[in-house]
Amino acid sequence: MLCQNCNKRPATVHWTKMVNNKKQETHLCETCAKETEELDFGFESGFSLQNLLTGFMNLQHDHESGGLSKEKQGSGLQALQCDNCNLTYQQFGKVSRLGCGSCYQVFGEQLKSILRRIHGSTHHTGKIPKRKGGNLRIKRQIRQLKERLHHCIEREEFEKAAQIRDEIKQLNEELE
């Protein structure tokens, strides 16, 4: 799609605006969008996936030096380095890629905190298709019930624990 203003360059800025209950869509190239006084998206700042991931790692990317600012790096993180590929945590912060399989063990704790912040959990749960995932759904439900059962037993809520035990038993019978 070409820019609606100059009709020369591809439209890379798209926005929709409602005026008097009527939808107005505008498609402009970056140059024309910069000239429009109506928009101020800060094109100069430059969004990148690298900056996003660096932010999740609690590291401040220093645009002038192209590295990570020293004040945001913990002294323990600076010392972390993979014995297999020699990748440091600072280098990982720059490139947002691990060097080898051993990096997962070396940077494991830091990766867990990053994943927890991004996804809300360190375990992948994913989605289960309704038609194909019947057994998987039941197994997941059993796993969740077993966790609840364990908590009930710890809190000495034995009546609730017995109900959960019966639910688990019924679900196990459905699997067979």
Closest CA to 95 of 53, 145, 134: 53
- Whether residue 124 lies inside any domain: the answer is no
Tally of structural domains, the chain: 3
In-domain check, residue 8:
no
In the chain, the percentage of residues whose pLDDT exceeds 90 is 22
What does the chain come to in residues? 176
pLDDT in tens, 61-85: 444 444 444 444 445 555 788 899 9
94 lies in the same domain as 33: no
CB-based contacts of 6, cutoff 8 Å, min separation 6: 29, 31, 32
In a domain, residue 158? The reply is yes
Q: Which domain holds residue 38?
A: 13-45
Task: Kindly report, residue by residue over 80-131, the tens digit of the pLDDT.
Answer: 888 999 888 888 877 778 888 888 888 888 888 777 777 777 776 666 666 7
Q: Are residues 58 and 31 in the same domain?
A: no
Does residue 60 lie in a domain region?
A: yes
Instruction: Specify if 126 maps to a domain.
Output: no
Which stretches within the chain are classed as H helix? 30-35, 49-56, 75-79, 89-95, 103-106, 108-119, 134-154, 158-175
